[in-house]
Amino acid sequence: MSLHTLTIKELKAKLAAKEISSADIVRSLIQRIESVDGRIKGYLRVNAEDALRQAGQADLSKPLGGIPIAIKDNINARGELTTCGSRILENFHSPYDATVITKLKNAGAVLLGRTNMDEFAMGSSTEHSAFQKTANPWNTDCIPGGSSGGSAAVVAADEAIASLGSDTGGSIRQPAALCGCVGLKPTYGRVSRYGLVAFASSLDQIGPFSKTVEDSALLLNVIAGHDPMENTSRPVPVPDYSAGLGRSVKGLKIGIPKEYFIDGMNPEIEAAVRKAIDWFAGQGAEIVEISLPHTQAAIAVYYIIATAEASANLARFDGVRYGKRASDATDMISVYRKTRAQGFGSEVKRRIILGTYVLSSGYYDAYYNRAQKVRQLLRRDFTEAFKKCDLIFTPTSPIPAFKAGEKTQDPLQMYLADIFTIAVNLAEVCSVSIPCGFTSSRLPVGLQLIGPHFEEAKLLQAAHAYERSHDWFKQKAPL
Amino acid sequence: MNSPSLDVAYVAGLARMELTPQEEALFQTQLSHVLDYVQQLQQIDVSSVPDTPVDPTLPTNVLREDLLKDSLPVADALLNAPKKANNLIMMPKIVE
């Protein structure tokens, strides 16, 4: 039986009926990984033996009992390597578990392996990993999106049942859209980032990738909640996200921001997204045109705030306490300078330079301070919009998966690939990307649903209603 | 504001990061484009936002309860140290 093709919900039913064991699922996945990951390169490491050991001990009565989950390589799990796709952390062994890992373990999940990513989550194509380039399962000449490209690709290629990623400017939703799976970025503060290697602390959020909306709800049930170890996580009660699924979308007010249907958008993407919106209208949802007037500024704001925060967060990688240290350094300063030169890849260096510059004396007000102010205007845009609608729908990405190498020479073009996802992080609201069709060349298209702060339940209900009437998620990449 | 005056070599010094001449030249060109792009923020009217923008809905000064508990064991803390001796991290000497 092809257990690797099933969803968490389907596997839970089979486990409960004692038709299969957790080890059967792990073995099915290992076999699948051995057969396709040579082409996909979604995993950095898979520990089959340890996964089988965990499977043997898994408490099947738990919410994720015996279900294998893949983890992006920037989330710490005690005793394992956590490389962040970087040479500087190539041999870094995590001394402790991230809170989401503790929660997964407590929920009975099996940690299957670690997925590839753009170095320190900086990128939109997973081409900036120091170790390997991940391919899109739908067309292996194309990129899977990024930065959580490995986590998206392994789910889309049935090499994982579900996975965790992190999203700072679209790093869950954009690869989910490009690979044709579900990717959820919870509200800032919904999921603890304790143990997530920090990129841009005012934007980073951990979230799930899955084959279905139902599975994302199950995963969010497990990973959400306040954590005393993470002071930006909020003590907002966690509802049962699965319980709310199955409701009708009749009467739901859906806002369509005019700024998101722009010239230059791929017409097949626009058509697929419009068709999905029409479906909601046909089910009795009310479609209202809204405006998010500062949309155009989002990328500029993001590349100032995110790089500024990254330049501060990545200052800790200096060769002193952990990670790589340059062997040819003879004094303190050259330890820092050479370690960082040898340890970081070029996108990370580029962003550290930009972030250091925008924070430097004489430029702080013009760049960083102004970006913070425009960020407040972006937040207000969403607050005002949500007075007129319950959810906002947009395309997740203006373009489908592009060819590997196409944008690596022009960072600005790469940055523009995140134009529809970035404002969500800046406004700290929640958002999910779900499959809503294919282009004529069979590349997946994603619909982005955006909800107000801590309204994940509403978001997942609407996404689930669409999923029940469409079979995009049942279509499999040709591998 | 006038066109940006980014000196990549100088900023790399601030960031304590050595760059090759090739990297310096490449970043100079690429980041100048990015800075030209972000100039658009200068055109946006931000007069309605206070000088120290703080989102009133977000909590500030979140503190944990001050409880005594075990910290990371020394061996774990030193697990990844590139060079260590006597439970300490070693660095090149600072004082002559």
pLDDT tens per residue, range B22-61: 999 999 999 999 999 999 999 999 999 987 656 666 677 8
Q: How far apart are CA A346 and CA A352, in angstroms?
A: 10
- Average pLDDT across chain A, whole number: 96
Closest-CA distance, B83 to chain A, in angstroms, reads 8
Confidence of residue A139 (pLDDT cuts 50, 70, 90): very high
Calculate Rg over the CA atoms of chain A: 21
A353 neighbourhood in chain B, CB within 8 Å: 8, 11-12, 15, 17, 27, 31
By C-alpha distance, the chain A residue nearest B13 is A337
A-chain CB neighbours of B92 within 8 Å are 329-332, 335
Min Cα distance A192 → chain B (Å) is: 14
Is the pLDDT at B3 greater than 70? The verdict is no
Closest A-chain CA to B24: A350
CB burial of A446-457 (b: ≥16 within 10 Å; e: otherwise) equals bbbbbbbbbbbb
Nearest chain A residue to B66 by CA: give it.
A228
- Contact flag A300-B94 (C-beta cutoff 8 Å): no
Residue A128: alpha-carbon gap to chain centroid: 16
B31 CB neighbours in chain A (<8 A) are 350, 353-354, 357
One-letter identity of residue B25:
A
Asked if residue A374 belongs to a domain, the reply is: no
**pLDDT, position A411:** 84
Nearest-CA distance from A440 to chain B in Å?
Answer: 33
Are residues A245 and A460 in contact, defined by beta-carbon separation less than 8 angstroms? yes
Give the domain range for residue A166.
3-252
Q: Is the interface score ipTM higher than 0.85?
A: yes
Does any domain span residue A244?
Answer: yes
Out of B11, B37, B91, the one facing A356 most closely (by C-beta) is B11
Q: Looking at the domain assignment, is residue A123 inside a domain?
A: yes
CA distance A227 to A254: 32
A210: closest CA among A414, A12, A438?
Answer: A12
pLDDT value, residue B28? 96
> Which residue among B11, B42, B82 sits closest to A319, beta carbon to beta carbon?
B82
pLDDT above 70 as % of chain A: 100
pLDDT (0 to 100) of residue A291: 97
pLDDT at residue B2, as a whole number? 43
Residues A293 and A17: their CA atoms lie apart, in Å, by 53
Residue A257: inside a domain: no
Q: In the block, which residue shows the tokens 């936002």? A: B49
| Cα of A297 to nearest chain B Cα, Å | 7
Statement: residue B80 has pLDDT above 60: yes
Q: Is the pLDDT of residue A253 over 80?
A: yes
Q: Which residue has the higher pLDDT, B96 or A287?
A: A287
Separation CA B8–CA B10 (nearest Å): 5
- Of residues A443 and A264, more confidence is placed in A443
Q: What is the average pLDDT across A3-7?
A: 98
Identify the pLDDT of residue B52.
67
The pLDDT of residue A344 is above 70: yes
What is the tally of structural domains in chain A?
Answer: 1
Q: Is residue A141 one of the residues assigned to a domain?
A: yes
What tens digit of pLDDT does each residue of A186-213 get? 999 999 999 999 999 999 999 999 999 9
The pLDDT tens digits of the residues spanning A27-70 come to 999 999 999 999 999 999 999 999 999 999 999 999 999 999 99
Strands A68-72 and A110-115: parallel
Task: Give the integer Cα–Cα distance in Å for A81 and A315.
Answer: 21
DSSP letter at B5? -
Q: Which residues of A touch B15 (CB under 8 A)?
A: 311, 315, 340, 352-353, 356
Question: Among partner residues A300, A366, A373, which is closest to B40 by beta-carbon distance?
Answer: A300
* Residues in Cβ contact with A1 at an 8 Å cutoff, skipping those fewer than 6 apart: A20, A28
pLDDT at A314: 98
Is A280 inside a domain boundary? no
CB contact under 8 A, B1 and A366: yes
- Contact list in B for residue A325 (CB cut-off 8 A) is 82-83
pLDDT at residue A409 greater than cutoff 90: no
Report whether pLDDT(A110) > 80.
Answer: yes
A25 contacts: CB under 8 Å, gap ≥ 6: A3, A4, A11, A55, A66, A67, A68, A110, A161
**Is residue A64 one of the residues assigned to a domain?**
yes
**A60-98 per-position pLDDT tens digit:** 999 999 999 999 999 999 999 999 999 999 999 999 999
Map tokens 């940690």 to a residue: A111
Query: In Å, what is the CA distance from A328 to each residue of A74, B12, B92?
Result: 28, 19, 11
CB pairs under 8 A between A and B: 144
Could you report the per-residue pLDDT of A114-123, keeping only the tens digit for each? Answer: 999 999 999 9
Under an 8 A CB cutoff, do A349 and B59 touch?
no
For position B1, what pLDDT does the model report?
Answer: 43
The beta-carbon neighbor of A357 closest among B1, B6, B49 is B6
* Residue B72, H or E segment: none
Tell me: pLDDT of B4 over 90. Answer: no
Q: Nearest CA to CA, how far is B63 from chain A (Å)?
A: 7
**For range A227-244, the mean pLDDT:** 94
Q: Give me the torsion for CA of A395, A400, A401, A406, rounded to 10°.
A: -110
Contact B31 A357 (CB under 8 A): yes
Give the pair of three-digit tokens for residue A466.
Answer: 């669409």
Catalytic residue IDs of A? 72, 147, 171
Q: Which residue has the higher pLDDT, A271 or B2?
A: A271
Which two three-digit tokens encode residue A296?
Answer: 């155009």
Residue A237 inside a domain? The answer is yes
pLDDT at A247: 94
Q: Which CATH number fits the domain that encloses residue A33? A: 3.90.1300.10
| CATH class belonging to B1-44 | mainly alpha
